[in-house]
Structure 1
């Protein structure tokens, strides 16, 4: 009983370590990831069909057969990979999150290279950063943010310098440096705001869950102490009764 009482008071100490307790934030992220991936997969099928239709139209407008076939193969691989990380939940959380972010970056980069600013490449990269801000810590999110900005800068330089050329029918303003600067600033602004806001929410949730867990453990310890006290009282009463009968 003395050891339980000591353990009870120890839980109020600031040295109590969350790493030795069940990680509720990890469980929350795991559940959130399952819902996000399922939602993405629901929309993946129509997006795949529309994407293949757009590729066919781009091919009819003059896009090369190799480029069209390559993008089509990429879309199919992405669809199958998304299905795998959605339904094969035995994979670790870190692997599933990293895989999905890799998928978003791959699709975003492919769209930027083939369509420039007229594509949804920057928006897809922004979605990857937003996703990372929820499922990674602040340092990991900053790395993803820097990687996304680097991809935008590199593709912009390739297009503005003329190293990478996109047919006029397939792009709009991709060779205009000012357009890239504006889009890049908007991406940086939105990404930074989202990273800060989401990081605050996740950390607040982590603190709340940790506080709730400590309170729950304290109640459990109190209940155990109360049971011990009750057991000792009943034992004393039993001993007194036995002693009285023995005295008679």
Structure 2
């Protein structure tokens, strides 16, 4: 029986990385067989690619190169970590997935959502998340959070101007409109406790529905099963 694939999406400073860690611990406490991972990264090769993509010294990186590096890290991560976990019936919580590439590289970088989607279809073999939480926050507020958090990893994307981050936000709105049944919105401008509770409510409801319905088949982009 296949597991369930849940992804966390949002712009810089949305707080999803903190929330995913807390939810992971809560699900473990409930006895759920769950793993937590991230993109790019999650396994050795993909973490090395992450360091290349995020290095603030790599400002000359071209848009298509960036998109392809994300795709390469994604493929290795899926093969080594995500696919095996799903095959074992686990719940997989992943910080970012294809939707990030569509919003960041497809829309904000101007490569085209459909074009970046096509690249990633080759990578993911049509596998998509069963549920995606989009952490919605105004780009300006998200960047203010980053500036105030001295412990947060500073990466190349943090150096982009506000117009880029606003374009990312617009890109996510288009991605949400394309996959409305899968993507659920969490208002990330609230307190951490409120954001975490809203996210947990969505996930708990989703897990309960799947348990009752016995529907643990992996969903696919464009496939309603």
Q: What TM-score comes out, normalization by structure 2 length? A: 0.34
**Structure (1 or 2) with the greater helix fraction:** 1
Q: What TM-score comes out, normalization by structure 1 length? A: 0.32
If asked which structure has higher relative contact order (CA below 8 Å, sep 6+), I would say: 2
**Structure (1 or 2) with the greater strand fraction:** 2
